[in-house]
Structure 1
């Protein structure tokens, strides 16, 4: 496999449809930009509805083909393990592609790609463990049981912040169950998903099991989510886009799995080691330049330790090393898109206008080696109020507002005063308090004395406007399989044909 950065640079990337690498039917391509310098570095195919039709048709054909449909669960598991080994072997290359595409730290991407093979191995082991149940009923001469089956073609739309990691947990489960897939990656970060497609070929998956179409959300993406040939849609992205996708899916009665926006509360009580809590808050908001839906962008600190906490948080923020994401010493790289940089700037200006005070950061760095890229300083607001717009809207950048609180009851009200419910974190030595918080906070994931800690064995997903459905663990196997009830009458007797049999 040759997917080095040099081989991608300046190239035109085709799409994987039905086991073939194909040009877009329109002949159009779109540029992908390097966020460290704002320059295009390759072009991806600009797919339209005709390309999406071809990809869904290929996935439908593969789903019904004996090469895939009649493959045993154990054989599917072996195939997924082969893919896992190839991902492991090519992990560093995939990590470098993603870093070049979205600007996240290379060492962050390397950790993500080191975890991907484990995820594939985990779900490969699930392939022959997805089973139905035998159900006792009030009829002694009947056998009543359920089967769990694949649902069909799954359409996946992935975001630009962690394309392969956010694809893997759902994709691996879909493959283990026996579904086929059409992926539309973000138009800003298509290269790593296309590289993954080559590994599918090398692993020996039947043609059409995994398909990749690239292009803009309002053309290729919309054509995919409107397509009547899908059995389910998996989407990770903004709440606004999620609403549009759900509306399109509803017209075809297609269910969705959605991980959407977040505005997560990150709570610090006075009984913890302040330095450790500061480190956790830094991880929650400044890692990945704040471009994570679980970002702890609303920080609540117990009043008695607020001043001490703020002094140390400001010091840490000012010490963060901003630089090129390929450099091992860099701690904060650029945001992925120029439009995202402008959005971050807009919300920072909004926070100032609303009366909050910038106590760290707040600007684009002016260093000569950074000026052409899409960098933004780690930014802290004091004097924030929970009803300020920058404290309610997802910014998706390295910006946090810090609010003091006095008691636990007040804290829970503040934490839950948001339309989102994806994640939450708390730092305290009081286990009773921690468990009360975990029970009462509206969040799909709650971290206690840690933050941004992920595990493929755990179900993740949000409440409220953060979406619905789960990724990870056995829950995702339920998400992408269907249950069929089978009833066998072995009595040999005739029943009254005009009366339902309840006994």
Structure 2
């Protein structure tokens, strides 16, 4: 078990300084594995605090964008080195703050380091193209210009990777930023910002303001001097942010919910499929936008697959994420636990058959945390809430289909389209899935969760505003194309 870190109060980071909120109020961040433990205190900021941060970012943007891409990339490389040195500390903080296992947060921190190094290299890559002109005596080319000040609004489920995969490209392409982390992950975000501070970025380039989403998140969306907003979170909040940004002409990027299906064809490797479904559904306690939520199985192998899935699920160990024996940690907060339990109740009330799990775990030390059993339902129909709505917890809706064509129809019959997976050894099934599945991330013979950092990431339908994050695709959001004609 890792050692307990002394509780401290974390300040906002504005214009290169750590400063208290003008409200003089703080919120606490609790350990979901032990609700009596306060991980840290963070600022309950006001609109005035946000204004100071945006002003600092606005003042810094001209100097920052005039640096070369290579110079900006060198700062990111320094941040990566610092984060690498602090990997164990920051990973432990993330586990204590939002609950996922230490192995997962260490992996997430390593991914953050890789993202920083990737975008450090982006500073040396091309920013435009030469385009032939109809005028033989003219030169025409494109270049790119940064948006300016970017508001970065991040969720609690990936407290390290998501802030970094938004901040790093925003910065290397010449923007300054104001980051607003989720309350449940604000301490971890503060430690990430400490890495940027130590790397010596100019004052005002990176700013962090913590506080209520209704004040700081909405304030970023409404602020006249915020030129772009990148958001990951719930659909309801994302749509409000998008509407506010649209109303004043700001650029916005929304990554939101998912109801991700896995199709298991009759010809699939069932052992492989069962292991991937469990990893996709129950890792991070199902608190991933790409988590497996629906599993649609060919009728002829349904019973065999179900037994495999149940056997493996019952072997999972649930407990404190700092314990090396733990496979699945707690829900990130009491409110998230209550949401998951309410959906389990809905599933039972609507007539689904509860096969395993479904209860809050309260034995021994688990009584102090927000634990729920990994849960599987069968006899699920398309009109049920557990089939249509994002739960964001360790709950699987198991369904049956007579063909891959029927499975695809069931898989597409939701409002979301983030990720999807199929297990098959049949090339025609594979090609049909790739062609007809309405999702931004398609995976074959692999779990629904996960995308490599150099590849575009984003969803279709109500999962996204239809832009893409990560890889070279990030350039499309964080910059605007400028066409130049020289006579």
TM-score category by the smaller chain? over 0.9
Contact 2:362–2:368 at 8 Å: present in 1 too? no
Normalising by the residue count of structure 1, what TM-score does the alignment of the two structures yield?
Answer: 0.94
For residues 76 and 28 of structure 2, the distance between their equivalents in structure 1, rounded to whole angstroms, comes to 32
For residues 184 and 84 of structure 2, the distance between their equivalents in structure 1, rounded to whole angstroms, comes to 24
Contact 1:5–1:97 at 8 Å: present in 2 too? no
The residue aligned with 2:15 is: 18
* 1:279-428 correspondence to structure 2 within 5 Å: 279-428=275-424
Aligned length, in residue pairs: 482
* Partner-residue secondary structure (3-state), 1:138: coil
Deviation string, structure 1 residues 143-170 (Cα, Å, up to 9, x no partner): 2211111111110110011121112222
For residues 48 and 446 of structure 2, the distance between their equivalents in structure 1, rounded to whole angstroms, comes to 47
The residue aligned with 1:209 is: 205
The residue aligned with 1:276 is: 272
Deviation string, structure 1 residues 94-136 (Cα, Å, up to 9, x no partner): 1111101100111100011112111111111111213211111
* 1:168-317 correspondence to structure 2 within 5 Å: 168-317=164-313
Cα deviation for residue 192 of structure 1 reads 1.3
The residue aligned with 1:100 is: 96
For residues 271 and 111 of structure 2, the distance between their equivalents in structure 1, rounded to whole angstroms, comes to 28
* Partner-residue secondary structure (3-state), 1:334: coil
Larger radius of gyration: 1
Residue 448 in structure 1 maps to residue 438 in structure 2: no
The residue aligned with 2:111 is: 115
For residues 424 and 404 of structure 1, the distance between their equivalents in structure 2, rounded to whole angstroms, comes to 16
For residues 150 and 130 of structure 1, the distance between their equivalents in structure 2, rounded to whole angstroms, comes to 14
For residues 270 and 124 of structure 2, the distance between their equivalents in structure 1, rounded to whole angstroms, comes to 47
For residues 161 and 52 of structure 1, the distance between their equivalents in structure 2, rounded to whole angstroms, comes to 24
For residues 332 and 69 of structure 1, the distance between their equivalents in structure 2, rounded to whole angstroms, comes to 43
The residue aligned with 1:55 is: 53
Residue 457 in structure 1 maps to residue 454 in structure 2: yes
For residues 207 and 324 of structure 1, the distance between their equivalents in structure 2, rounded to whole angstroms, comes to 39
For residues 69 and 341 of structure 1, the distance between their equivalents in structure 2, rounded to whole angstroms, comes to 44
Normalising by the residue count of structure 2, what TM-score does the alignment of the two structures yield?
Answer: 0.97
Contact 1:5–1:96 at 8 Å: present in 2 too? no
The residue aligned with 1:497 is: none
- CA RMSD in angstroms comes to 1.2
Shift in alpha-carbon separation, 1:5–1:55, aligned structure 2, 3 A: farther
Contact 1:105–1:325 at 8 Å: present in 2 too? yes
Counterpart among 463, 466, 469 of residue 466 in structure 1: 463
For residues 147 and 405 of structure 1, the distance between their equivalents in structure 2, rounded to whole angstroms, comes to 51
Deviation string, structure 1 residues 56-111 (Cα, Å, up to 9, x no partner): 1111111123xx23322221121111111111111111111110110011110001
What runs of 5+ residues in structure 1 fail to find an aligned partner?
490-503
For residues 162 and 303 of structure 1, the distance between their equivalents in structure 2, rounded to whole angstroms, comes to 36
Contact 1:112–1:165 at 8 Å: present in 2 too? yes
Counterpart among 33, 38, 44 of residue 36 in structure 1: 33
What runs of 5+ residues in structure 2 fail to find an aligned partner?
none
Cα deviation for residue 199 of structure 1 reads 1.2
Cα deviation for residue 5 of structure 1 reads 5.6
